A and B are shown apart, each in its own frame.
Chain A
Amino acid sequence: MTAAASGFAVAFLGLAAGFAVGSAFVALLIVLDIVPRLVQFTRAHRRSWAFESALLAGAMYFSCADFFRWTLPLPNVALLAPAVFQGVFVGMLAAALTEVLNVIPIVTKRLRLKPYLFALLMAMALGKVAGSLVDWLILQAK
């Protein structure tokens, strides 16, 4: 096989793999209803393009930065922004996942705990916060 042909094959494979990953990624986020929730929050109806561009830019920039080692000379304080936002994003992802799986409605219905719904939600959120803190500060401290 000539170098050009194999190079073309590699590039084609890369494009195909990217297509699969990109559309699967979006499909997952859509199934989890994260964007509709944000749209409701910000009352930005009929502006889905703005949200799509955020997802697109994030995925493209960070996969390129990851592969090609694009480093930015930012001070340590700049870490605060991605840290907070990524934390919120993972939190939303986790909450959305439990919602899609109907965990809470089933638990509250079976155990007749509807009046304590808010306390249950708080328990889940606090549990996640405590678990994350214990994990990072104690279990994976070194």
Chain B
Amino acid sequence: MDTTVYIRLRRRIVVPPEAQIRLSDVARIVADPEWERRLLPLPVLRVRPEDGHLLVIDMLHIVKVIREAAPGVAVETYGEPHTLVEVAKDGVVKPRRTLFALAWVLLFFGSGMAIINFHADVNMPEVQRRIVRLLTGNPDWHPWLFQVPYSLGVGFGMLLFFNRMLSRRWNDEPNPLEVEMFMYQENVNHYVITDEYRKKHEREEEGRT
């Protein structure tokens, strides 16, 4: 029988408080069907209330669990060497609706003020009158013909940047905002993982002395 177990950890999982995390929750494994059946339900970790709401499961820990349950298997690991576990009620991260409404209003007023600020800063009304005068030779004309397309243009420019028309996308590429959100989350994950390793290391040092 082939005794190699190929294993890839999930990047991030969400579990309810005090959950029993099993190998099937944190990893995908490819092995002999017999081994798969035996290894997948292995308990990896039980979440304790004092663990906080973010913890890291290390690949080394997984390898240890597998070797204890099945001595003699060779473990081949792929992908990330750790899984980030988020503890949330009922095992799902719920969006916070009130905060979300507040954030919407915040962005609405904020971007509105920012655009007016910008117009005041660059003296936009004077510039518009000047442009209209230069192009039409008509000095006392309210430049609505400039302002209406301009306002529409602001909206289109933003949509162009967000890569979509209403809720339909122009193509499958993620927009810069989504990329930025992803990068932000990646950085946060990276920090959390590094920090958890540091804490673990400190606890071990304390235990030794």
Pairwise interchain contact B107-A58, C-beta atoms closer than 8 A? yes
Task: Check if A76 is an interface residue, CB within 8 A of chain B.
Answer: no
Contact of A6 among B136, B148, B162, B184 (CB under 8 A): B136
Pairwise interchain contact B106-A89, C-beta atoms closer than 8 A? yes
SS class, residues of chain A in contact with chain B: helix
Q: What separation, in Å, do the CA atoms of A73 and B112 have in the docked complex? A: 19
SS class, residues of chain B in contact with chain A: helix
Task: Check if A133 is an interface residue, CB within 8 A of chain B.
Answer: no
Pairwise interchain contact A47-B158, C-beta atoms closer than 8 A? no
Task: Check if B181 is an interface residue, CB within 8 A of chain A.
Answer: yes
Task: Check if B191 is an interface residue, CB within 8 A of chain A.
Answer: no
Q: How large is the interface on B (under 10, 10 to 19, 20 to 34, 35 or more residues)?
A: 35 or more
Pairwise interchain contact A86-B178, C-beta atoms closer than 8 A? no
B174: min CB distance to chain A, Å: 9
Pick the 5 closest A-B CB pairs, nearest first: A18-B153, A22-B157, A89-B110, A62-B112, A14-B149
Q: Give residues in B with beta carbon < 8 Å to A.
A: 93-96, 99-100, 103-116, 118-119, 125, 131-132, 135-137, 143-162, 164, 167, 175-178, 180-181, 183-185, 188
Knowing that A51-B103, A58-B115 touch, tell me 9 more A-B residue pairs with CB under 8 angstroms. A6-B137, A10-B131, A23-B161, A25-B111, A35-B181, A49-B164, A49-B167, A51-B104, A63-B151
